[in-house]
Structure 1
Amino acid sequence: MMPFSDEDLKLPVSTIIENKVAPMLAQDGGAISLLDIKNGRVFVQLQGACVGCSASGSTLKYVVEKELRAAIHPELEIVNVPQGMENSLEEL
């Protein structure tokens, strides 16, 4: 059970993504955007060189999700939102 509301999670999640994850992805020409948080699920969209990269799934699971779980809560889940699906988060 997540002890935080989605609203409570927005600032710490966005801070980690902006300050730790985004600079790392930028080194390889990639980018990441936080789209929303719903029920402990963090919806992000990979951009730049990350789109279509064969390592993007591993990057999300073993870098982004791991960082968020360690810093905030172990039940956080990261979901990559494909281009064009930004308005259909509930379907993912």
Structure 2
Amino acid sequence: MDKEALDRVIEKVSEKLKAEGGGIEVIGVKNDMLYVKLLGSCETCPMSGLTMKNWVEKTILEALPSLKGVKAV
């Protein structure tokens, strides 16, 4: 996986989440699956599941099609 491309897309996602008081941290990659942790207000937000699936995962997979998926831990 292209680390620079990963860093760019995580920064893009992070900027949007910061605007809402949240954030994202990369935990690691295993078997082409990216593991992330939502931070700040995203940790307790009742909409975080939808944000994760409909925006975070979609944005990351569009930028990094070699990944099979993105999971929040």
Greater length-normalized contact order (CA 8 Å, ≥ 6 residues apart):
2
Consecutive unaligned residues in structure 2, runs of 5 or more: none
- CA drift of 1:10 comes to 3.4
Separation of aligned partners in 1, 2:18 and 2:65:
25
Larger strand percent? 2
Percent identity at matched positions?
A: 34
C-alpha deviation, 1:46, in angstroms:
0.6
TM-score of the pair, normalised by structure 1: 0.71
- How large is the RMSD of aligned CA atoms in angstroms? 1.5
The structure that has the greater radius of gyration is 1
Structure (1/2) with the larger helix percentage: 2
Q: TM-score with structure 2 length normalisation?
A: 0.87
Gaps of 5+ in 1: 1-7, 82-92
- For 2:43, what is the secondary structure of its paired residue? coil
Structure 1 segments (4+ residues) deviating >6 Å? none
Call closer, same or farther: CA 1:66–1:17 in 2, change over 3 Å: same
State the shift of 1:75 in Å. 5.0
Quick one: structure 1 residues 9 and 37, their matched pair in 2 at CA, closer, same or farther if it must change by over 3 Å?
A: farther
